[in-house]
Amino acid sequence: MDDRVAIDLKMFLDDKVKQYNRPDFIVNDPVCIPHRFSKKQDVEIMAFFSAILAWGQRKTIIKKCGELIERMDSAPYQFIMQHTENDLKALLGFKHRTFNETDLLYFVSFFREHYARYDSLEDAFLVSGCHFTMEQSLNYFRRYFFSIPDYPLRTRKHISSPSKNSSCKRLNMFLRWMVRRDDCGVDFGLWHKLKPAQLISPCDVHVDRVARRLGLINRKQTDWQTAIELTENLKILDPLDPVKYDFALFGLGVEGEM
């Protein structure tokens, strides 16, 4: 990307970030679900569920997440940490696409184990040592997530990782919500150990299509290396906060401006 193209593209995408990175964006997006809560752990838990269940129409995703909140008595963290075996019956029968009650019960078990030791879900993504890449972080998280003995094998498909050459769209979206900090009211910026500069851009169908038309992606397939390629090109525009452009690319795709 030559300097003139980069300058023009940055001006265009910066304007689109301002257009889409605003409270109006929340209303029809799964990020509206964690915005129903104020307690940090409730936000983390429901942001994670909202990201993992982000398949298909956004209206349906939001509806299923709302159902899940109701099944957990509108207090996810309290339900997870204080539930009895009898309480878990309220989760039976939950289903969204290929995510079912078996997966949900394991997620609850994982959260209970994790929060018994840590105050924040951020610790689940922190690799030992001062310097680590997001690739290392996501691979570590998947191993950690399935560290409970006798986890259901079917649940593994719901947690992606670079080691499986996945673009990790849902996890990267979740991390954007938790890590990015601005005063626009969409992303939460709850976490401070992971930095916005470390984030990798989510690569959903809208982002992928628009990014290719803008010359930000040349790789034919959509996988982890594609997400890296996109992010590296976005770092040319803003090295400290490249993933803010997810708003612009997604918004352009959804609104059909490209």
pLDDT, tens digit (0-9, with 9 covering 90-100), for 143-178? 999 999 999 999 999 999 999 999 999 999 999 999
DSSP-derived secondary structure for 150-178: T--GGGGGGS--GGGT---HHHHHHHHHH
The lowest-confidence range among 82-91, 124-133, 174-183 is: 124-133
What was the pLDDT predicted at 1? 75
Q: What is the pTM of this model?
A: 0.96
What does the pLDDT read at residue 258? 63
Tell me the average pLDDT across 173-196: 97
H/E stretch holding 228 reads: helix 224-237
pLDDT digits over 202-258, tens only? 999 999 999 999 999 999 999 999 999 999 999 999 999 999 999 999 999 987 766
Tens digit of pLDDT for each residue in 32-84? 999 999 999 999 999 999 999 999 999 999 999 999 999 999 999 999 999 99
- Token pair for 201: 């851009």
- pLDDT, tens only, 91-129: 999 999 999 999 999 999 999 999 999 999 999 999 987
Contacts 24+ apart (CB under 8 A), 131-139: 133/198, 134/172, 134/175, 134/198, 134/199, 134/200, 135/162, 135/224, 135/228, 137/194, 137/198, 138/162, 138/168, 138/171, 139/163
pLDDT over 90 (residue 21): yes
User: For residue 180, what pLDDT is reported?
Assistant: 97
- Give the pLDDT score at 238: 97
